[in-house]
């Protein structure tokens, strides 16, 4: 019997990650192949990087182009339309309006010697697809995923395994919904957010992007803390917080407890609209190499405790809030799974 695989290409501005799944959805390898995207060298360089990346992945796993039954491409937004980049942060301005879907599809056909089905979507949403498949097993249930990092990634994956994209591909930009500020005991203006909204975006209260503002707010209660007297640049101060928290630093723990509380309230907020059976929490704070088991338990429990009072009675006992499992593999695997789902006509 000939083997069939589906390739996932997860392209960020600087790094492209490649992975693949078998027809069963199981990963071909637990090792992700990484390549420089080469976006600074223009469009052709990017396509070349993706194609040679796939070839190298196949060689490393003793596979050939003839085994490839479909390809998925995960890219950051925003988009002008399906498979077409808009003015996307961190990418060259000249990429706006570039139909990456068509160019990648053409290059894949040239390389494989035949047409290959291609599916293209938002990287965060595709990461959710992979985590959801793992979290729910064989159960037909829906999964919400939140990934606090530099920003707040969010995805909703329905019981059919597919992510919610919305009609302008801006679905689940849940990091830019407002926080119910009256619950947080903060006075003064809402935190600013990179998106420009002034209503106090959740992203500003739960991620690295908002840490400078949160540090100014919370350090008021720790006047004798080393960081209160430090003249180090703000960026250096905030980037030290995660490590400090692992050592039990009271200010750092206070800050991540606060972030977890906002995240929990947001989980409950989203549960009013989406009613998921499982909520997966990903991002750098769940990274086993960066945080301790004690810290992760504390953070997850703080999210659960903050969500609980605002959930409906049946949800309180049924919603599972769990840490992510795939880490940096999730978006490439999600892209491969989407290619597989498409071939199985799940659309």
Using CB under 5 A, list all residues that contact Zn ion.
176, 193, 195, 197, 201
Shortest Cβ 195–Zn ion spacing (Å): 3
Residue among 111, 66, 147 at smallest CA distance from 326:
147
Instruction: Quote the least distance from Cβ 340 to Zn ion, whole Å.
Output: 33
The phi-psi region of residue 46 (left if phi > 0; otherwise alpha if psi is between -120 and 50; otherwise beta) is: alpha
CA distance 250 to 253: 5
The three-state DSSP-derived secondary structure of the chain is CCCCEEEEEEECCCEEEEEEEECCCCECCCCCEEEECCHHHCHHHHHHHHHHHHHHHHHHCCCCHHHEEEEEEEECCCEEECCEECCCCCCCHHHCCCEHHHHHHHHHHHHHCCCCCEEEEEHHHHHHHHHHHHHHCCCCCCEEEEEECCCEEEEEECCCCCECCCCCCCCCCHHHCECCHHHCCCCCCCCCCCCCCCCCEHHHHHCHHHHHHHHHHHHHHCCCCHHHHCCCCHHHHHHCHHHHHHCCCHHHHHHHHHHHHHHHHHHHHHHHHHCCCEEEECCHHHCCCCCCHHHHHHHHHHHHHHHHHHCCHHHHHHCEEEECCCHHHHHHHHHHHHHHHHHCCCC
Residue with Cβ nearer Zn ion (192 or 246): 192
- Report the residue number, 18 or 208, with the smaller CB distance to Zn ion: 208
User: Between residues 8 and 76, which has the closer beta carbon with respect to Zn ion?
Assistant: 76
State which residue, 27 or 151, has the beta carbon closest to Zn ion. 151
Give the shortest CB-152-to-Zn ion separation in angstroms.
Answer: 9
Q: Which is nearer to Zn ion, 195 or 239 (CB)?
A: 195
Please, what is the minimum distance in Å from the beta carbon of residue 200 to Zn ion? 9
Q: Which is nearer to Zn ion, 128 or 200 (CB)?
A: 200
Which C-beta is closer to Zn ion: that of 196 or that of 293? 196
* Nearer to Zn ion among residue 201 and residue 307 (C-beta): 201
């Amino acid at each position: 019997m000939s083997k069939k695989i589906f390739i996932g290409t997860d392209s960020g501005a600087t790094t492209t990650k490649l992975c693949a799944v078998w027809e069963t959805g199981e990963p071909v390898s637990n090792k992700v192949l990484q390549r420089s995207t080469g976006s600074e060298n223009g469009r052709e360089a990017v396509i070349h990087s993706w194609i040679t990346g796939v070839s190298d992945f196949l060689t490393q796993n003793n596979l050939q182009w003839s085994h490839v039954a479909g390809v998925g491409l995960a890219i950051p937004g925003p988009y002008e339309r399906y498979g077409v980049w808009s003015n996307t942060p961190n990418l060259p301005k000249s990429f706006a309006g570039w139909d990456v879907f068509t160019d990648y599809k053409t290059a894949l056909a040239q390389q494989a010697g035949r047409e290959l089905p291609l599916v293209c979507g938002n990287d965060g949403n595709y990461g959710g697809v992979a985590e959801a498949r793992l979290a729910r097993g064989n159960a037909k249930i829906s999964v919400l995923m939140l990934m606090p990092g530099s920003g707040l990634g969010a995805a909703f994956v329905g019981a059919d395994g597919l992510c919610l994209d919305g009609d302008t591909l801006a679905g689940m930009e849940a990091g830019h919904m407002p926080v119910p500020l009256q619950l947080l005991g903060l006075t003064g203006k809402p935190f600013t957010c990179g998106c420009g909204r002034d209503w106090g975006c959740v992203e500003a209260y739960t991620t690295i992007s908002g840490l400078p503002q949160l540090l100014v707010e919370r350090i008021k209660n720790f006047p004798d803390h080393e960081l209160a007297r430090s003249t180090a640049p703000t960026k250096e101060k905030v980037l030290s917080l995660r490590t400090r928290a692992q050592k039990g630093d009271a200010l750092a723990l206070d800050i991540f407890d606060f972030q977890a509380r906002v995240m929990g309230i947001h989980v409950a907020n989203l549960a009013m609209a989406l009613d998921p059976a499982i909520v997966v929490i990903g991002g750098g704070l769940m990274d086993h190499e960066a945080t301790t088991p004690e810290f992760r338990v504390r953070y997850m429990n703080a999210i659960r405790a903050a969500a609980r009072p605002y959930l409906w009675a049946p949800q309180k006992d049924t919603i599972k809030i769990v840490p992510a499992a795939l880490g940096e593999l999730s978006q490439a695997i999600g892209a491969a799974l989407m290619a597989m789902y498409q071939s199985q006509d799940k659309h």
